[in-house]
Structure 1
Amino acid sequence: MKINQILNSLIYGDAIGNEALVIRKLLRNNGYESDIYVNEVSKNLVNEVKYFSEFYKDNSDLIIYHYGGSDKVYEDLVKIDIKKVLIYHNITPYKYFIKYDKPTADETKKSYENLSYLAKIFNFAIAVSNYNKNELINSGFKNIEVIPILIDFEKYNIPDNNIMYKDDYVNLLYVGRISPSKKIEDLLMLFRYYNYYNKKSRLIIVGDYGTSVPSRIYHYMLMKLIRDTCIKNVYFTGKISFESLIRYYKLADIFITMSAHEGFCVPLLESMYFGIPVIANNICAIPETLGGAG
């Protein structure tokens, strides 16, 4: 039996792409033929995928489609007459993008509206959280199972003796997209207050801010806020390697996020894996992901 996965892009470090790789590994280890088809891929992952343009040459028995919004695959995929399973990774509400980029806001709004159509053509759906399951129910999906994002934590066990900072500062860490829904401005103001009382503290913000228009504009506004309010000891890393990410987790004393919308939030699990205390808003899927921890 051949079970193939489809997603628009496999980007290095992205949670959805990482899960697709884990699922393929599990399928192959259990005797299934399985490949991943994409439109876009990071250079260092080219050998892990096939391009969607080749998909029609393949005889799939089942398709697993990772959906987090409309993409270049969407219109072609809905026409394929093969049994389909949708994995829903959530869609950021469009209201968070209106201020920064209207085309992105419009596309995001359409992405959510498309769920109602997808409910009619997919045989089964997987939600990575109960929060996401409720969104699928509201969109008309019937057959839904909740399966949290699969993470291969073995790869996190990287021996590394490199010490990033040799001091006694308290290191607060945020990991995630630099996106308006993450409310990083709230995080900055919270740190400003904390740093006033503890000068030996730093805030490290790990995440890509150069890929999308909203992220670039949002990052510019965050830097302006830092300058205008004279916040010290804040460091934006930009996009980093997986090895560097592990170093930051090992360095951190506290993981903190003020995000206003999460369908799962993988960095919460990563932080707990490294034994880092977590501070987060009690909203959306965050309490479910933490499972009473934090």
Structure 2
Amino acid sequence: MIPKELEHARNINVIVFSPRSASNSRAGGAEKYLHEVITRIVKAKFLVVSSSEREGDHKATSYSEYIVSKNELFFPMNLIKCVRLAKHFDLITENVSKFPTIWPLILSKLYSKPFVIIVHHIHGKMLFRELPLPIALLLYIYEILSLKIYALFATLVITVSESSRKELIKLGFPQDRIKVVPPGHFSKRETIFLDISKASYPLVVYVGRVKRYKRIGDLIKAISIVKKVVPNVKCVIAGNGDSKVYEELKELTRSLGLNSNVEFRGPISEEEKIRYLKKAWVYVMTSVKEGFSIGALEAQACGTPVVGYEIPGLVDSVKNGETGFLVPDGDYVALAEAMIRILLNEELRLEMARKAMLSASNYSWELSAEKFSMHITGVLSEVS
């Protein structure tokens, strides 16, 4: 017998286990991807099992949500609530936004259901930048071992980029079971391309999560170099993140004498984000790794060239030399030189903006949903 509050789930044919809800204050690209995609799929009904400390506006969308925990740390142990619930679904799916929880795989075997996993990127050595060594080492080993187990049993793997696909193959996932479904950009695409007017001054923007692995300090160091050539350059850094990392970045800004050049906005609304992306002359991404980088894609949709490191994910979303520049990983001097090149050359900037918008037009959440739906429908057809 399933809980009374979940009786409506009897007619839902896909259950998705996702540690964070789209309404979770710590939600990132993985949660946005899942939300945007399944909202647009009409051939299947979804129940998302997740954690969140607050309610979002997702209840008005086409899928339902079962919050089993307010804290994502307790999400795996709370999945015991779903043992009997899972048997009522045709397909069991896990959105691996952090690490595999194993429970969905066990449930798929218990009820002989096809098991689909969504993998955005593999953390790997990036963990050692964010966590104390003992914890990072344990999670590093756990991630590798759990994904190797998933490689043996997953019916289908959906990932967001060719870079992530190659990593999954190295871990033992069969190539024919991996499908690449890139993300889209913005919920209301038709309004994005209207009224794109750039700032009257050189504006560099980063909008995204403020975490240590994003290496935003490299952007600030690069701005100190850019300032010597472009004295009136402005840099805006915005997004959710760790308060400790924010303080470290502010201290770095003060130490480099950049208080008048760098502005920290903190969390901003979707409307503010779009406004900054439209006004920016350059969008900068300095991450250690990305799955695909929705942020870079959104920037290009707004006619803003991207400058970043040549890392997994960005090599998929940015066409080097056409929609932006990708420089050797970790070389913030080269990062600064690429920014200067775009900021001082209006003809180059306008040409890159044109190509960026053209490239971004090949992506949409509608197209992502269509591909995603096709793949999961194919899985159900094979086992029926």
TM-score, normalising length: structure 2:
0.65
- Which 4+ stretches in 1 moved above 6 angstroms? 158-161
Query: What is the distance in 2 between the residues matched to 1:160 and 1:244?
Result: 15
- Secondary structure in structure 2 of the residue aligned to 1:78: helix
The amino acid across from 2:85 in the alignment is K
Query: What is the distance in 2 between the residues matched to 1:242 and 1:187?
Result: 22
Q: Quote the offset at 1:181 in angstroms.
A: 2.3
Asked whether 1:38 is paired with 2:50, we answer yes
Change in 2 beyond 3 A, CA 1:283/1:242? same
Counterpart position of 1:137: 169
Percent identical pairs in the alignment equals 22
- Secondary structure in structure 2 of the residue aligned to 1:148: coil
Counterpart position of 2:123: 92
Structure with a larger share of its residues in helix: 2
Change in 2 beyond 3 A, CA 1:127/1:100? closer
- C-alpha RMSD of matched pairs (Å): 2.9
Alignment of 1:30-109 (within 5 A): 31-40=43-52, 42-45=54-57, 47=59, 49-52=65-68, 55=82, 56-57=84-85, 59-70=88-99, 74-81=101-108, 82-95=113-126, 97-98=128-129, 101-102=132-133, 105-106=136-137, 108-109=139-140
Change in 2 beyond 3 A, CA 1:234/1:107? farther
Contact map agreement 1:97 1:180 (CA 8 A) in 2:
no
Asked whether 1:280 is paired with 2:316, we answer no
Query: What is the distance in 2 between the residues matched to 1:80 and 1:44?
Result: 27
Bigger-Rg structure (1/2) = 2
Q: Quote the offset at 1:291 in angstroms.
A: 4.1
Choose which of 223, 226, 235 in structure 2 pairs with 1:203: 235
Size of the alignment, in residue pairs?
282
TM-score, normalising length: structure 1:
0.83
Query: What is the distance in 2 between the residues matched to 1:19 and 1:63?
Result: 18
Counterpart position of 2:211: 179
Of 265-274 and 95-104, deviating more is: 95-104
Change in 2 beyond 3 A, CA 1:49/1:150? farther
Counterpart position of 1:169: 201
Change in 2 beyond 3 A, CA 1:104/1:187? farther
Query: What is the distance in 2 between the residues matched to 1:41 and 1:83?
Result: 30
Structure 1 unaligned residues grouped into runs of 5+: 211-215
Counterpart position of 2:375: none
Counterpart position of 2:180: 146
Contact map agreement 1:10 1:45 (CA 8 A) in 2:
no
The amino acid across from 2:13 in the alignment is K
Query: What is the distance in 2 between the residues matched to 1:66 and 1:260?
Result: 21
Q: Quote the offset at 1:153 in angstroms.
A: 4.2
Counterpart position of 1:219: 246
Change in 2 beyond 3 A, CA 1:92/1:207? farther
Choose which of 13, 16, 19 in structure 2 pairs with 1:8: 19
Query: What is the distance in 1 between the residues matched to 2:125 and 2:244?
Result: 16
Query: What is the distance in 1 between the residues matched to 2:48 and 2:130?
Result: 35
Q: Quote the offset at 1:10 in angstroms.
A: 1.7
Counterpart position of 2:31: 17
The amino acid across from 2:283 in the alignment is F
Structure 2 unaligned residues grouped into runs of 5+: 1-11, 69-78, 325-384
